[in-house]
Structure 1
Amino acid sequence: MAARVPEGSLGVGEAAPPPWKAQLMPPPLLCVVLLVVAWCAARVLEWAWLSPRRLGRALRSQGLRGTVYRPLAGDAPLADRLAREARSRAPLPPGCHAVVPRAMPLFHHAMEEHGKTSITWSGPVPRVTIADPELVRQVLSNKFGHFEKLGLGQLQRLLHNGVSAHKGDKWARHRRIINPAFHLDKLKRMLPAFASCCADLVNRWEGLVAGGAGDGEPCEVDVWPEMQRLTGDVISRAAFGSSYLEGRRIFQLQEEQVKLAMLIANKIHIPGYIMLPTRINRRMKRIAAEIEGILGGMIAKREDALRSGEATGDDLLGLLLDSNMEQSRGDGGEGRETSSGGGMSADDVIGECKLFYFAGMETTSVLLTWTMLVLCMHPEWQDRAREEVLRVFGGAGTTPDYDGLSRLKIVTMVLYEVLRLYTPLPAVHRRTYKPMELGGVRYPAGVTLVLPLLCIHHDKGVWGADADEFRPERFAEGVARASGDHQPAAFFPFGGGPRTCVGQSFALLEAKMGIAMILRSFALELSPSYSHAPFPAPLLRPEHGAQIKLTTVP
């Protein structure tokens, strides 16, 4: 006999639903989950497909050409392939400075195939190369804040979190606090530290030459790690008042951090990738914590000394803490941060110290290394530079001073030409945060502008048919006229505009001091074991070392 249905519970002729169907009816929680999944899927679709397609169409409709967008990966596979092919080719012959195809293979390929203003893809983000010097100046000047500094998010913070990574009010506040530490009168006080570090290097090299083959035979040295050691010593003494040995652990950790960052550089466009508990990510976070611990201890000791009324000294850290304390007092409270002013927090100071180590050591060591290699390739300029140094400073018994360094015209020309041919940072990036017109093209928000500085410095349309040749005389009348009257100021080794590298004068003084003291003591010659293979990692460095033969100058 059939079960009786209560009256009023079903309509006329309506049967009760079977038990299995009742059990499959979605509860409210399942509906919420499905809505969240649908929302996430829509966001991913927008990020990975719809937005790139929309931005790509907007750029191509204005005549720009470039590589085809590949979902998620973008041009990462192409970049990897071109980089492997570039590195697998035979090294460049010594004296050949046409380094762009080897150092920037993706951008070189894109500009050759699609024009100087061409599109490439960093994951789902379109990148447009801007290789016209006038347009580069407009982007770098950033008068109205239309082009944002492009950071690397969490990866950037693991490497350093200094003023170069900040934007807006925070950047302005940090720059205002840091600037006094790099005033010329402050840098002059650091020259004895520069000279002392260079003298230690020269004395050690003299010992190597004396202990070598003897009978005037040259001694082979790989100057790349030697220059890293020298600039590490300088930044330790000049910035922190400590010896190289005390800071060596930081240098070792920073070098490992950079190598690990290069391994994951093509994956950072994946949201949240740096947060995944991979072996490399875990190691990078441990390195960052150790560096911050060492620097935090140094800063705490110095702040305790400040509070007890002790002098901070003339090193960069002391000057930075003095300026920070002044700014804090002037704004009414120590460490206060507001949109109009305020000091830096302890974490901010640690971030600036990490940047001192990262930029202060790597950039100048790269410049010094390439300068020595190029002088080996062009011995006539090595002789001219040495003659100038000996004329200005005499023999090894005198210590170079600021006035003498300022009179080294040939050495300065050589350094500028090396910076042009072997620009330490091959490219810088900016991003549009709202629609912006530049050079007749209207860029939508969310487009990355790549300024390929190394390509611009080798552009024959800017520098002439000899753009790939080493000709320091092009800087005889200064930087502004180096590229000719028709292309003024097409030289950007330290960036440009308000974000020009704050340590530019520091780096050039250090480089002049190092080259002057090395040239008056040693003659330099390329070793047969040297392989000319410039490689961005991320600064442009010699991939296989920089082997040079040293001979003592009589």
Structure 2
Amino acid sequence: MGIFLPNLLVIGGVLILPWVLMLFNYAWWRPKRLERALKKQGIHGPPYKLLSGNIIDEFRALKASHAKPMGLSHHILPRVAPFHLQTVKNYGKTSVTWFGTDPRVNIMDPELIREVLSNKFGHFTKPPPTSLLKQLVTGLVTHEGKKWAKHRRIINPAFHVEKLKRMLPAFSTSCNELVSKWEQWVGSEESRELDVWPDLQALTADVISRAGFGSSYKEGKRIFQLLTEQSELIMQAVQTAFIPGYEFLPTKGNLRRREIVREVKAILKSMIEKREKAMKTGEADNDDLLGLLMESNFKESQEQGNSNSMNIEDVIEECRLFYFAGQETTSSLLTWTMIVLSMHPSWQVQAREEVLQVFGENKPDIDGLSHLKIVTMILYEVLRLYPPAIFLTRCTYKRMQLGGINLPVGVQLALPVLLIHHDPELWGEDADEFKPERFSGGVSKATKNQVSFFPFGWGPRICIGQNFAMIESKLALAMILQRFSFELSPSYVHAPYTVVTLRPEYGAQLILHKL
């Protein structure tokens, strides 16, 4: 027994040692090696902290910024991204922060942003999706290489402008229900206070349910509720994401997130199988996104073989992405647009005059929407000041060069959309002011042909749903302007914050006036 015990200890030590070395490399040696490599090139930032990097520092900065009241201003950087704003001030625009054990180098030079985003399969890929991100969305937004190319090719036809025209009745039905609801809410009083944020969230969920999945409307509403809950749970979980293995513990949050994934997938699988049966019997209406996607996928299978088409799991993931991205982006844009037009009533008047000149009291149509120049300028300026996604990230999978910087394997690149959109060096000293006239000559003229405005991304991987979101936003805003004027309520608190997308923390309380 005396000999046996030491032998067991030796064997145990031999078995455990590789895991200890692996953990040491992951948690300390690799991050410090990358930190030294970046410092040698003059790229500095807050020091790396074991496992957490700067995540805890970032949450502390956010907590402190949220504790202070904010005035009615578009200077939102100190509240929304205080840690990154301070990092750029202290260490320069090309600086580094730490997302857990991964260094993130800030890239704010438009020419370098162009290089990072321009390659279809290029050198700079999206970071592998974390297990948390996978619980929210996967699909086209996370794929790379040949798989991304295949999915993009199959999905593209569904988002062609001509196909989107066929969805306009669904858009119009949802928007008409919203303004009718608001008219009933105001009633005979002619004006009444309303928090428009929940209703605009419901509107965009309604649109994606109808235009995306047609007759499966009730199931769509349930998916929206589940994804909204999932977003909140994931933002809470980010604070513990740097702790190895924590996500696998049977905590209440971990169990609920996995349960939501299963339920959403089950609902979508049922919807897809019903549509497949309807398509086989010739009873399917393929004017919605699901129908167009399945039609395109079937065509790809017939022409190129099953290996070149998407399987049912792929279709489920793309549908989950439709729901999340389609609802989140547009609800954020419409809410901030109504808030901003309440802060700038003269632009609200100009937008309404244009809508009435183009449509009168008639229901907006697709051709008329393309003539709304002032409305388009306003939407672009709101997207500049309040972009739904405040960061884009890419990463290196091999040693690479970017603008004279030698980037080792494993470095992430952070494209801080919000900071770039508010950068006085790119937009002038009035960068924090609402001036839609910047876009009177289009995006290229406003940006001087630089990549300094990219609310939907840029290059080959630009958001495939951009046209969908813009048509929906123009239509909804036009119908609202036809029926209402609106102003900020005294109870409104200006408090932008991020839960996946940029949102009003305490709602969007406006006073609606029936016209």
TM-score (norm 2): 0.97
1:502 aligns with 2:464: yes
Taking a change above 3 Å as real, the CA distance of residues 53 and 376 of structure 1, as seen in their structure-2 partners, is: same
Q: Which residue of the partner structure matches residue 99 of structure 1?
A: 76
Q: Report the alpha carbon displacement of residue 313 of structure 1 after superposing the two structures with TM.
A: 2.1
Q: Report the alpha carbon displacement of residue 35 of structure 1 after superposing the two structures with TM.
A: 1.6
Q: Structure 2 CA distance, aligned partners of 1:137 and 1:312?
A: 41
Q: 8 Å contact 2:113–2:415 — kept in the other structure?
A: yes
Give the one of 354, 373, 396 matched to 1:432.
396
Q: Which residue of the partner structure matches residue 441 of structure 2?
A: 477
Q: Which residue of the partner structure matches residue 331 of structure 2?
A: 365
- Equivalent position SS for 1:467: coil
Q: Which residue of the partner structure matches residue 165 of structure 1?
A: 142
Q: 8 Å contact 2:121–2:145 — kept in the other structure?
A: no
Larger radius of gyration: 1
Q: Report the alpha carbon displacement of residue 144 of structure 1 after superposing the two structures with TM.
A: 5.2
Q: 8 Å contact 1:237–1:244 — kept in the other structure?
A: yes
- Mean Cα deviation higher: 319-328 or 269-278: 269-278
Taking a change above 3 Å as real, the CA distance of residues 220 and 242 of structure 1, as seen in their structure-2 partners, is: farther
Q: Report the alpha carbon displacement of residue 266 of structure 1 after superposing the two structures with TM.
A: 3.1
Letter in 2 for 1:55: L
* Per-residue Cα deviation, 1:273-312 (whole angstroms, up to 9, x for no partner): 3222221111000011111111111010001112223334
Q: Structure 1 CA distance, aligned partners of 2:120 and 2:184?
A: 53
Letter in 2 for 1:390: L
- Equivalent position SS for 2:445: coil
* Per-residue Cα deviation, 1:61-80 (whole angstroms, up to 9, x for no partner): 00111011111111122111
Q: 8 Å contact 1:140–1:496 — kept in the other structure?
A: yes
Q: Which residue of the partner structure matches residue 313 of structure 1?
A: 286
Give the one of 84, 104, 108 matched to 2:63.
84
- Equivalent position SS for 1:36: helix
1:393 aligns with 2:374: no
Q: 8 Å contact 1:197–1:230 — kept in the other structure?
A: yes
Q: Structure 1 CA distance, aligned partners of 2:295 and 2:113?
A: 36
* Per-residue Cα deviation, 1:10-55 (whole angstroms, up to 9, x for no partner): xxxxxxxxxx74344415xx54432220000111111111111110
Letter in 1 for 2:371: R
Q: Which residue of the partner structure matches residue 465 of structure 1?
A: 429
Q: Structure 2 CA distance, aligned partners of 1:159 and 1:366?
A: 18
Q: Which residue of the partner structure matches residue 64 of structure 1?
A: 43
Q: Structure 1 CA distance, aligned partners of 2:392 and 2:451?
A: 17
Q: Which residue of the partner structure matches residue 249 of structure 1?
A: 222
- Mark the runs of 5 or more structure 1 residues left unpaired by the alignment: 1-19, 337-341
Q: Report the alpha carbon displacement of residue 157 of structure 1 after superposing the two structures with TM.
A: 1.8
Q: Structure 2 CA distance, aligned partners of 1:329 and 1:38?
A: 53
Matches within 5 A, 1:250-289: 250-289=223-262
Q: Structure 2 CA distance, aligned partners of 1:149 and 1:77?
A: 24
Q: Which residue of the partner structure matches residue 521 of structure 1?
A: 483
Taking a change above 3 Å as real, the CA distance of residues 391 and 25 of structure 1, as seen in their structure-2 partners, is: closer
Q: Structure 1 CA distance, aligned partners of 2:6 and 2:376?
A: 80
Q: Which residue of the partner structure matches residue 187 of structure 1?
A: 164
Aligned residues: 515
Q: Which residue of the partner structure matches residue 274 of structure 2?
A: 301
Q: Which residue of the partner structure matches residue 135 of structure 1?
A: 112
Identity, in percent, stands at 53
1:530 aligns with 2:492: yes
Q: Report the alpha carbon displacement of residue 399 of structure 1 after superposing the two structures with TM.
A: 1.6
Q: 8 Å contact 2:275–2:284 — kept in the other structure?
A: no
Taking a change above 3 Å as real, the CA distance of residues 509 and 111 of structure 1, as seen in their structure-2 partners, is: same
Q: Structure 2 CA distance, aligned partners of 1:117 and 1:363?
A: 28
TM-score (norm 1): 0.91
Q: Which residue of the partner structure matches residue 316 of structure 2?
A: 350
- Equivalent position SS for 1:46: helix
* Per-residue Cα deviation, 1:51-108 (whole angstroms, up to 9, x for no partner): 11110000000011101111111112211110101100112x22x1011111112211
Q: Structure 2 CA distance, aligned partners of 1:225 and 1:382?
A: 21
Q: Structure 1 CA distance, aligned partners of 2:21 and 2:412?
A: 24
Root mean square deviation, CA, Å: 1.4
Q: Which residue of the partner structure matches residue 23 of structure 2?
A: 44
- Equivalent position SS for 2:444: coil
Letter in 1 for 2:463: C
Q: Structure 2 CA distance, aligned partners of 1:166 and 1:383?
A: 44
Q: 8 Å contact 1:481–1:489 — kept in the other structure?
A: no
Letter in 1 for 2:281: S
- Mean Cα deviation higher: 68-77 or 465-474: 68-77
Give the one of 115, 118, 121 matched to 2:92.
115
Q: Report the alpha carbon displacement of residue 221 of structure 1 after superposing the two structures with TM.
A: 0.9
* Per-residue Cα deviation, 1:312-342 (whole angstroms, up to 9, x for no partner): 4200000000011111111223xx3xxxxx1
Q: Structure 2 CA distance, aligned partners of 1:315 and 1:502?
A: 16
Q: Which residue of the partner structure matches residue 3 of structure 1?
A: none
